[in-house]
Amino acid sequence: MAEEHNKTNNSSPHVVIFPFPSQGHINPLIQFAKRLSSKGVKPTLITTIYIAKTSPYPNSSIVVEPISDGFDDGGFKSATSAESYIDTFHQVGSKSLANLIRKLVNEGNHVDAIIYDSFVTWALDVAMEYGIDGGCFFTQACAVNNIYYHVYKGVLEIPLQAAAPPTVTILLPELPQLQLWETPSFVHNPGPYPGWAHIVFNQFPNIHNARWVFSNTFFKLEEQVIKWMRLMWPLMVVGPTVPSMYLDKRLEDDDDYGMSLLKPNHIECMGWLNNKPKGSVVYVSFGSYGELGVAQMEEIAWGLNESSVNYLWVVRETEKEKLPKSFLANGLIVEWCRQLEVLAHEAVGCFVTHCGFNSSLETISLGVPVVAIPQWTDQTTNAKCLEDIWGVGIRAKTPVTRTNLVWCIKEIMEGERGAVARKNAIKWKDLAIEAVSPGGSSDKDINEFVSQLSPIKC
């Protein structure tokens, strides 16, 4: 049921799309590229040489061009630290991006816009050097961007907040009152990850030079904070960037992001799920990047076993050694899965999630209620939104204990709160579909962007 076209030619608008090279940033920008392609725009997706080598992208409607991040042989994990990766990526990546733009132009291409991840603000400086319009793409919730912006502006003073007693609360425009621990981890505990803290607080210095600002959320999900941000920036809200087959079904065969940095145990997962009763499975994942402490891993492992439910738990290879030695899983443990297919499976009744923003949007888009176990970065604030604002689940106490996890799972799978969360999740699912369908808020914003791309000068 492909309603939209994707025929492009050399006079079609051409947009270069540049995600930060991690799974949680690549996924939304790939989906945005697919949407643009369906509306007659030619997208070129930039990835790193290492990712292009190790995770080739099969979708023929999007051209992939690799640039160097300075770690061509081993990628991010071969850097000595996040700080060294971020710094080298900036130095090497900006030169490599400039070379790519020159190459594209020398080959006779026009480049009408560079849509860059808000984590690589330097890409806008490169775009401007070549007279190309830039669009800053935020992959995190507007609620979270709002908080980071106030840190950037000095309204939230990080050392003061860190030193503040835990009872301090924070009140920012269009957000509910937040406890300190409900802010992103970099706000209440900036010490351990200075490189990431620097990136998230510094997404804004050149944003006034961006012709567009995009956000992967949808209007009704974050209406108040979106309205507030629109007073400052030309914000286009284009999410949820979940493959079309799970939402409006207008993009033919679009049922997967398509670039998986880890290999999914797909057949095993689906075979296992197919044998489970409707709504009986708890799906558990902590995303592509985060690392659990050994004690947390142990509590979660025993909690899942003790909860006596069917569970499917993603434990990445690098995390497996933290499983308790004597642990024999009652459920299925896989190293990676196709999360969307799992969440969409009728056997799944609950998502125990770290609350990465993609996972949050995916669970909402598929109507699955959650038990939230946020770890760090924006996850603490996303968990607040999932429980208190969107009403789709409950937060476990952190650090989570096995007893609390058993209680949370029971509450969502069998309790009154679970019934309410499920109802709300279905409501959000319908609103997410509405947003990306013809005439919906996200669809309108994408159309508006396409209409603003400069026509080709003959």
Contact 262, 336 (CB under 8 A): yes
Say which amino acid occupies 401: T
Of residues 314, 364, 370, 386, which one binds ligand UDP by CB under 6 A? 314
Query: Ramachandran region of residue 70, left (φ > 0), alpha (ψ -120 to 50) or beta?
Result: left
* Rounded CA separation 77/417 (Å): 40
Residue 183 in contact with residue 145, Cβ under 8 Å? no
Residue 265 binds ligand UDP, judged by CB under 6 A = no
- Please select the residue that binds ligand UDP; options are 6, 12, 27, 424, rule is CB under 6 A: 27
Under rule CB under 6 A, residue 376 binds ligand UDP: no
DSSP string, 101-122: HHHHHHTT----EEEEETT-TH
Burial class (CB in 10 A: 0-12, 13-18, 19+), 366: buried
93 counts as binding ligand UDP under rule CB under 6 A: no
Which of 13, 135, 287, 440 touches ligand UDP (CB under 6 A)? 287
Catalytic residue among 14, 69, 112, 117: 117
For residue 27, the minimal CB distance to ligand UDP (Å) is: 4
Assigned token pair, 421: 């969360």
253 is catalytic: no
Which one, 183 or 288, has the nearer CB to ligand UDP? 288
Minimum CB separation of residue 155 from ligand UDP in Å reads: 26
Does position 76 bind ligand UDP by CB under 6 A?
no
Q: Is residue 25 annotated as a catalytic residue, yes or no?
A: yes
Q: Looking at 213-264, list the stretches that DSSP marks H as alpha helix, in order from N- to C-terminal side.
A: 223-230
Residue 96 or 377: which CB sits closer to ligand UDP?
A: 377
Which of the stretches 52-60, 80-88, 323-331, 351-359 binds ligand UDP when contact is defined by CB under 6 A? 351-359
b/e per residue, 229-261, with b = 16+ CB within 10 A? Answer: beeebebbbbbbbbbbbbbbbbbeebbbbbbbb
Contact with ligand UDP (CB under 6 A) among 285, 381, 424, 441: 285
State the alpha helices, DSSP H only, in 248-389.
266-274, 294-306, 339-344, 357-365, 379-384
Q: Which stretch binds ligand UDP (CB under 6 A): 19-27, 120-128, 232-240, 415-423?
A: 19-27
Closest CB to ligand UDP among residues 183, 363: 363
CB of residue 199 to ligand UDP, shortest distance in Å? 13
> Which of the residues are catalytic?
25, 117
Instruction: Give the residues lining the site for ligand UDP (CB under 6 A).
Output: 23-24, 27, 285, 287-290, 314, 336-340, 356-359, 362
